[in-house]
Amino acid sequence: MSSIKFQSRGKPLLRVPAKKHRIINSIVCGVPIKSHHRVSNVLSRTSGPSFGSVTSISVTTDERPFGDDGNGRFGRFGGKFVPETLMSRLRDLEDELDFVLSDHEFQEELTTALRDYVGRETPLYFAGRLTEHYKTISRTTGDGPEIYLKREDLGHSGSHKMNNALAQAMIARRLGCGRVVVATGAGQHGVATAAACAKLSLECTVFMGTTDIEKQSSHVLSMNLLGAQVTPVKGTFQDASSEAIRNWVGNLETTYYLSGTVVGPHPSPVMVRKFQSVIGKETRRQAIQLWGGKPDVLVACVGSGSNALGLFHEFVGDEDVRLVGVEAAGLGLDSGKHSATLAVGDVGVYHGSMSYLLQDDQGQILRPHSIGVGLEYPGVGPEISFLKETGRVEFYTATDEEALQKNSLEGIIPALEASHALAFLDKLVPILHDGAKVIVNCSGRGDKDIDTLIERGMPSSFS
C-alpha cells in the first residue's frame, strides 16, 4: 500500500509501533488449546457464499473490503477456530447473511426500522465551541481545524449498538430462534438487544459481569424493564462473553448468539461491521452536503472495534482520509492496568478468531482495565488487527484521567468510551492544518457513567 501523507504542522505524533508479534496461545470459545495446528483443518473450512451488494443505506457494499478474502479472513487474521459442533450453525448463519444482504424485503424492513425506530440518520454536528477552544489553546493565527461529532449517542437506546442489534435480531427471527443470548460490558449492547428483542417478540438473556453490573446499574434496570433476563457472571465483560458463548453452544437449536462487536468466528465480525457501516455511509453523504467533500481525519475509540469500523470502513479506500483509533491506556501502559491491545498485545486466538490479544508469556489472557467499561476487552477484531498491521489506520492511546477530562463540552455528555477519542484531540488538533475537517464518532451517551464521574470528581468544562 502506498504511504499516506497529510499536511500538518509541528512534530508528528508517535503511533502505536509496529512489531513482530508472536503467536503464543489459542482459545477456542473460551477454552484453551495447546497449539494452532490442532485447529488448522477447521480454519481451512471457511469457504462460504460471497456477499453481494444491496441498495439499503445500512449495508451497501460496492466492492470487497480492503484485505477481505471473501471468507472473513483479513491477511492472517480472522477464521473459524471453533469446535466442529458449531460449524454447521455458522454455515447456516453465513447462508442467511448472504441472503438477507440482497433480499429486498429484509432490506426494506431494516431500512424502515433504522429510520422510524432507531432514529437514523444521526446528525453530523459542527462542534463550534470545541473548535474555538482548540483554536484558542493552539494560538493559531488562522481558522484552525473544524471539529464535528457524529452523534450516534442520539440513536434509540443511546449508542451505535442498536444498528447491529436490530438487524441481527431480525436474522434470529428468520432462523427460527425464539431466544437470543448476548454478553455486555457497559450495558449499551445489552439494552439495544433487549429493546430489539422486545420489538420482535424474542426472549432475551443478557450475561453481564458482576463488576460491570455494579458500575452500570441504570442499564441493568433498563434491560429488566425491556423484558430481558440479566444473568450475573463473576468478573467483567471478558467473563460474560465466555459464559454467553457456552450457553449458546448448549442450546444451538433454539438460541441465537447476538454478537455486539466485530470479534468471534466468521461471519460474526463481517456481519457486525456490515450493519455498523451505516455510520460511515451517512458521514460521507453528510460531509458532501456540509462542505462539498470528504473529511480529512476520522477519530474513534477502539475497544474491540465495532464503532471504529462502523465509521472507518466507508473510507478505508480513500487514502487521503486519515483514520485514527484511540485505545484505552487505563492507568498507563506500564501499569499493567489498561486495554491497549494494539499497543502491547500479541497475536493469538480467542473467542473463535485470530487477532491481537492481551496475553502473558504463557499465552494466558490478561484482564483488561479501562474507566470506560465498554473498552474492557482483551482483544480486537480481525479486521481492526489487519488495518493496524498494514498501517492503514493509526492507533494511539488515552488514559483514564485524560478521558475523564472530556465529559463536559458543547452541552453534550459523551460516554466514557467515546471520551477517549475526544481526549486525543488535545494531541491531534495542534498538528493539523487550518481548515482540516475532523470527525469524532460520539458512539454513545454518558448518562450511564454519571455515578463513575461523581466518584472521580466531575471534570471542569471548557468555559
Q: Which domains does the chain have, with CATH numbers?
A: 23-115+161-273 (3.40.50.1100), 121-157+277-456 (3.40.50.1100)
Tell me: the pLDDT tens digits for 205-236?
999 999 999 888 899 999 999 999 999 999 98
402 contact partners, CB below 8 Å, separation of at least 6: 329, 420, 423, 424, 426
Cα–Cα distances (Å) from 314 to 252, 280, 295, 317, in that order, read: 34, 5, 12, 8
In which residue are the cell numbers 472530556 written? 406
Distance CA 442, CA 439 (A): 9
Report the alpha-carbon distance of residue 367 to residue 371 in Å, rounded: 14
Band (238; pLDDT cuts 50, 70, 90) = confident
User: In this structure, which amino acid lies at residue 81?
Assistant: F
pLDDT digits (tens, 9 = 90+) for 363-411: 999 999 999 999 999 999 999 999 999 999 999 999 999 999 886 679 9
Choose among 264, 377, 374, 383: nearest CA to 313.
383
- Does residue 164 register a pLDDT over 60? yes
Instruction: Give the C-alpha distances (Å, rounded to integers) separating 26 from 36, 69, 183, 408.
Output: 7, 22, 21, 42
The residues, any chain, with a CB within 8 Å of residue 76's CB and separated by 6 or more, are 347, 354
Q: How far apart are CA 419 and CA 384, in angstroms?
A: 20
Model pTM score: 0.87
Q: From CA 184, how far away is CA 107, in angstroms rounded?
A: 27
- ∠ CA 206-120-111 to the nearest 5 degrees? 85
Cell of residue 34, nine digits:
495447546
User: What backbone torsions phi and psi does residue 455 show, to the nearest 5 degrees?
Assistant: -60, -35
Question: For residue 41, which amino acid is it?
Answer: N
